Structure 1
């Protein structure tokens, strides 16, 4: 059983907070400052943490357990509640419901965020054979997929079932994550490089305010600029976290790991919760805070129950404060990411 980094988990938590904020504040500013990196970050992390020890069958089994099973369970729960109320109120629309089952951009409220786990599954499984190639060839595959999915006129890959097209388009971020990991192995000053990357990403946002990335819509902004902005900000967060959060007090590290292990639940439930609060798109600080607290409270409660893995996707029990199995306070057992 391996270790997980609290620094990396902190990045996941930041990314998930940004995802929730992007659904409470639906404005041009959130598209500009949050959409460009908040979900690409998770694809970057997949490539950054890639071990390559599993074949396609093994990777598919692991990712199905951690992504697809929770997806199916939460979809069934939320669909039963939502469609049930709609049937009672006489507002149920079979065509809309069919689109929600189909996935991708057709997943309307309360399933706005449901495209992400299936897209990540697609990108991950695809990376198993591609990861065997030399890095330049990996980039050739990634860029070819990006061009076909996002820039060739007339393609309808955004509307493939279960966000397959989104997974193919976002595959470029997985390769970028692996590139970052290899480059970081040769970095001598992460504490300088990470903030410099963040500054570069912010500069590109200011210079190209309309070049935001929206993976769900397979919109990647100005060619090169949108991808580079996402990689600089997402990668900058990772490098900075590894530089400055590599050793933190164990109570803080354990807290961060718990929050990270709950983040998939937050992904699934924050839109229904915000919708129930009438906080979607209203820009309310109170709505944002209540949505965050309620979503994470549910996630933490479920993570505390290992038997609820089918809802959390968490592998293994969450760490405890009195577990001294790891000498490094920021390297928390029990899970290899």
Structure 2
């Protein structure tokens, strides 16, 4: 999640530095794929049960509507656009992920029932990459093109993560990452960054369909390799920042506003930003910002909007109510199961 914020902070800086853009390319190869693989891994238990659907609505759908609503007002003010409409079918900056996560998790039972889920998901993604008529509603192009990473996460088990954490893998990850940076540096003047966003078809990228399909598969492979390298460096033991993982959704949604504010108010046009050390400072500030937004103080303040309970919105579970009635004592033994009898207490004489 820290890398997501740093990537967004780097975007306005990459045009003036080939090195910065190469780092940008390298990061965008894996940071969202890794995030999506983990999201899929954590969705393995989803079976469409009532309590799971409730959590999906309150933890994904409601935050999307709430943040999209606030974001519209924010952009009206920041962009001096009082007539900006509420386009809930068109996710605002970075909000596409919530739409995608909602749809992916909702279809999890389907992927778990298929014999070959990965080939099917890859087929859908490649087909989307060469289909310009998908349109921008709900950002379905990204939903389809990032789908294989989510489905891959559904197939993973704990021992798969242990494989990439071996000492040998950590050592291999170093030259592989360096080679990736060298290739990214070479590709900067030759490649459009939009390939990494997966939000356009081959036709929109100005290439033949077969080129778009090949590029998608190549980027998918690169994403897997770099994700494995990244995960190999994740510490096994608990660190000071481990608990902050529970607040990553807060950081993802809340960082939208300072990032967009920095662009709308032209913070990157200030003279000091042009200095090389300024890029280092901005990177550190972005990392600190994302870390702070994961802390319990922030999650406590914004929980009403990002993780609301909304008990009033849902029907109560009939089975839970029945168990509650059975466990509640009532007049004439009404709280006990039907047919049960309490054994008479013996007197001292007996």
How far did 1:303 drift?
0.7
- Mapped contact 1:16–1:267 kept (Cα < 8 A): no
| Higher relative contact order (CA closer than 8 Å, sequence separation 6+) | 1
CA RMSD of aligned residues (A): 3.6
Map of 1:278 onto structure 2: 266
> What are the within-5 Å matches in structure 2 for residues 1-337 of structure 1?
13-27=1-15, 28-55=21-48, 58-84=51-77, 89=80, 91-92=81-82, 97=85, 100-103=87-90, 111-134=92-115, 137-150=116-129, 152=130, 154-157=131-134, 159-181=135-157, 184=160, 187=163, 190-197=166-173, 199-200=175-176, 203-204=179-180, 206-207=182-183, 209=187, 210=191, 212-217=195-200, 222-241=215-234, 245-249=235-239, 251-254=240-243, 256-257=244-245, 260=248, 262-275=250-263, 278-279=266-267, 284-285=278-279, 286-290=281-285, 293=288, 297=292, 300=295, 301-305=297-301, 308-313=302-307
Structure 2 length-normalised TM? 0.65
Structure 1 length-normalised TM? 0.67
- Mapped contact 2:3–2:287 kept (Cα < 8 A): no
Question: 1:214-259 deviations in whole A, cap 9, x for unaligned?
Answer: 1344678724220111112123322431xxx22135x4434x4366
How far did 1:117 drift?
1.6
Question: Aligned pair in 2 of structure 1 residues 233, 114: CA closer, same or farther (>3 Å)?
Answer: same
Unaligned 5+ segments in structure 1 are 1-12, 105-110, 316-337
In structure 1, C-alpha distance between the alignment counterparts of 2:137 and 2:265, rounded to whole Å: 30
In structure 1, C-alpha distance between the alignment counterparts of 2:162 and 2:285, rounded to whole Å: 43
Question: Aligned pair in 2 of structure 1 residues 145, 193: CA closer, same or farther (>3 Å)?
Answer: same
Question: 1:182-219 deviations in whole A, cap 9, x for unaligned?
Answer: 76167396232255356446535644633852134467
Q: How many residues align?
A: 279
Unaligned 5+ segments in structure 2 are 16-20, 203-211, 310-350
How far did 1:43 drift?
1.0
